[in-house]
């Protein structure tokens, strides 16, 4: 399927949500994703709302913030075919792995198995169980930069209690056969822990179709959440056997309908027997949460659900196929899977020399093409991340720059100009800047609407207090503030805002 045949709604939505990428070639989502407009607006509205505290009290405001945070759970559940009660919110995949390590009932003599292609945090997390007598071992990769189900099966001794792996590997994009590994783990009674940080957002996944015990996913990569947040899936069948972490009181069941009501009880004491829900959120920290991150995650998840994971997968696999064909023409070696079954949104290629790979990366960055270089266990190269906001034009820009690098004597080539010159540069700048202006204008209109709402509330309050509808002294103060910052134009702007926000009560 070519990009031209993707529905217009898909393309229009993506262009509207990611205006800053109109002329920027960003192919580094495996490191950090680009936040959509709706996520930034959600965070902005939340933070701005904290100035006004529209709720009747701080207690009510805190309750509303908890409700806003909780709204991310059902969206994350829909993304992976789970139930909201199976989802706990975490700050990152690392945080989720930490909970998994602390919760699994492992004892001295037990072993944890994971591929040697894993992200560093996988080793950091499980290595910390060494003091408890738990051993971590790795499954070696083969010559193609992959690992097979048979290689895992051969190492599943009776001592192995956990198989932990990334569903998509971070250096070369290898997508594991999770269906086969899930069946194998169920047959052997082995816990299956999956890090989906390089998977979800670019590729679909369902825990109904492929059962796993624990799944973790950070939000800042392919899910494009603008703040440090993510989610943790705990299978219903697994939760009764997991240790409960030390949690805060929000993870406990309040001794009243809400904690706000519990605080009003005169018999409330801190030292008591607390009950916890059987839902996954009992594994959350249980304190004041990352509310901006949660609303940003919710907004970003709503976009991915709206566009549908299957359509996004079709789009990114079309792009990776286009990239693979171009790399073959340039005779650059693909490091990782080529078949669709094991391919992901990550394509890694190499010149055959790590120093030359780094030189090529720096050349691409100077040419305005954002990529990374990653290596682990000897596997890696120039890593390219194709996401929903990328186009064949982005891939072509990378291939053209890579070809220019080879013509310039490879790793000994002088860096290209940092930006295109002449009319092309001017046109590119104008398009990008206009996209940013459009986004800023949208924010301004949203702020004016919010200001009008607050002004309406003030007018109602003044009427209830038998005060005049307007306060001339306050209006003069507003005009003076605008004039001080913006001069005569600020005066005119303040007068217009006051006129627009007076409205009808």
Question: What CATH number did the domain enclosing 457 receive?
Answer: 1.20.59.10
pLDDT band at 415 (very low <50, low <70, confident <90, very high): low
Write the pLDDT tens digit of every residue in 9-49: 898 899 999 988 887 899 999 999 999 999 999 998 898 88
Question: What CATH number did the domain enclosing 337 receive?
Answer: 3.90.1150.10
pLDDT band at 453 (very low <50, low <70, confident <90, very high): confident
Pairing of strands 346-350, 333-334: antiparallel
Same domain assignment for residues 201 and 247? yes
35, part of any domain? no
24, part of any domain? yes
| Last residue within a domain, chosen from 305, 333, 364 | 305
In angstroms, rounded to a whole number, what is the distance separating the alpha carbons of residues 462 and 174? Answer: 64
Greatest mean pLDDT among 40-44, 204-208, 249-253, 403-407: 204-208
Same domain assignment for residues 152 and 73? yes
- Among 394, 393, 417, which Cα is nearest to 404's? 417
Question: What CATH number did the domain enclosing 274 receive?
Answer: 3.40.640.10
Same domain assignment for residues 229 and 342? no
Same domain assignment for residues 243 and 278? yes
Question: pLDDT over 90 for what percent of the chain?
Answer: 65
- Expressed as residue numbers, the domain containing 443 is 422-502
Is the Cβ–Cβ distance between 198 and 343 less than 8 Å? no
In angstroms, rounded to a whole number, what is the distance separating the alpha carbons of residues 324 and 350? Answer: 12
- Among 220, 211, 282, 280, which Cα is nearest to 252's? 282
Domain total of the chain: 3
Same domain assignment for residues 87 and 24? no
Same domain assignment for residues 102 and 221? yes
Same domain assignment for residues 56 and 81? yes
| Last residue within a domain, chosen from 412, 441, 476 | 412
417, part of any domain? no
Q: Please say if the pLDDT value at position 440 is more than 90.
A: no
| Last residue within a domain, chosen from 272, 305, 338 | 305
Confidence (pLDDT) at 421 = 47
DSSP states along 152-174: HHHT--TTEEEEEEESB-TTT-P
In angstroms, rounded to a whole number, what is the distance separating the alpha carbons of residues 248 and 252? Answer: 7
Write the pLDDT tens digit of every residue in 199-238: 999 999 999 999 999 999 999 999 999 889 999 999 999 9
Same domain assignment for residues 83 and 185? yes
**Going edge to edge, which strands form the sheet with 214-218?**
87-90, 230-234, 214-218, 191-195, 160-166, 111-115, 135-139
Same domain assignment for residues 232 and 167? yes
Same domain assignment for residues 321 and 298? no
Same domain assignment for residues 172 and 118? yes
Write the pLDDT tens digit of every residue in 261-305: 999 999 999 988 888 888 999 999 888 899 999 999 999 999 999
């Amino acid at each position: 399927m070519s990009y031209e045949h993707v529905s217009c709604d898909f393309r229009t939505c993506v262009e509207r949500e990611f205006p800053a990428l109109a002329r920027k070639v960003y192919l580094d989502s495996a490191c950090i994703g680009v936040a959509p407009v709706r996520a930034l607006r959600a965070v902005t509205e939340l933070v701005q709302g904290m100035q006004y505290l529209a709720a009747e009290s701080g207690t009510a405001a805190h309750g509303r913030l908890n409700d806003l945070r909780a709204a991310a759970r059902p969206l994350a559940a829909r993304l992976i075919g789970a139930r909201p009660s199976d989802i706990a919110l975490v700050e990152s995949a690392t945080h989720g792995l930490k909970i998994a390590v602390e919760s699994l009932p492992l004892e001295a003599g037990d072993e944890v198995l994971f591929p040697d292609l894993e992200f560093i945090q996988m080793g950091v997390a499980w290595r910390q169980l060494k003091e408890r007598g738990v051993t971590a071992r790795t499954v070696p990769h083969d010559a193609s930069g992959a690992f097979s189900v048979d290689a895992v099966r051969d190492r599943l001794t009776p001592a192995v209690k956990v198989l932990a792996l990334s569903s998509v590997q971070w250096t070369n994009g290898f997508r594991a056969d999770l269906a086969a590994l899930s069946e194998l783990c169920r047959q052997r009674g082995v816990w299956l822990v999956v890090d989906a940080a390089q998977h979800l957002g670019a590729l679909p996944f369902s825990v109904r179709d492929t059962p796993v015990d624990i799944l973790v996913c950070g939000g800042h990569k392919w899910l494009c959440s603008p703040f440090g947040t993510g989610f943790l899936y705990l299978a219903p069948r697994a939760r009764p056997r997991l240790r409960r972490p030390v949690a805060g009181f929000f993870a406990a069941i309040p001794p009243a309908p809400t904690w706000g009501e519990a605080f009003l009880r005169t018999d409330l004491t801190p030292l008591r027997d607390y009950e916890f829900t059987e839902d996954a959120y009992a594994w959350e920290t249980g304190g004041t949460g990352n509310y901006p991150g949660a609303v940003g995650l919710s907004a970003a998840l709503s976009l991915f659900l709206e566009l549908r994971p299957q359509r996004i997968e079709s789009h990114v696999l079309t792009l990776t196929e286009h990239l693979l064909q171009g790399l073959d023409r340039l005779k650059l070696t693909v490091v990782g899977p080529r078949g669709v079954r094991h391919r992901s949104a990550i394509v890694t290629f190499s010149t055959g020399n790590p120093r030359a790979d780094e030189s090529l990366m720096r050349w691409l960055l100077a040419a305005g093409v954002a990529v990374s270089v990653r290596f682990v266990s000897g596997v890696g190269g120039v890593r390219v991340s194709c996401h929903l906001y990328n186009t064949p034009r982005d891939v072509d820009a990378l291939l053209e720059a890579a070809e220019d690098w080879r013509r310039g004597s490879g790793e000994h080539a002088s860096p290209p100009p940092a930006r295109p010159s002449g009319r092309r540069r001017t046109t590119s700048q104008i398009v990008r800047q206009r996209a940013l202006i459009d986004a800023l204008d949208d924010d301004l209109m949203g702020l004016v609407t919010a200001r009008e709402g607050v002004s309406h509330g003030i007018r109602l309050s003044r009427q209830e207090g038998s005060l005049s509808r307007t306060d001339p002294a306050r209006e003069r103060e507003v005009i003076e503030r605008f004039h001080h910052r913006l001069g005569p134009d600020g005066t005119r702007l303040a007068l217009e805002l006051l006129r627009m926000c007076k409205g009808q009560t």
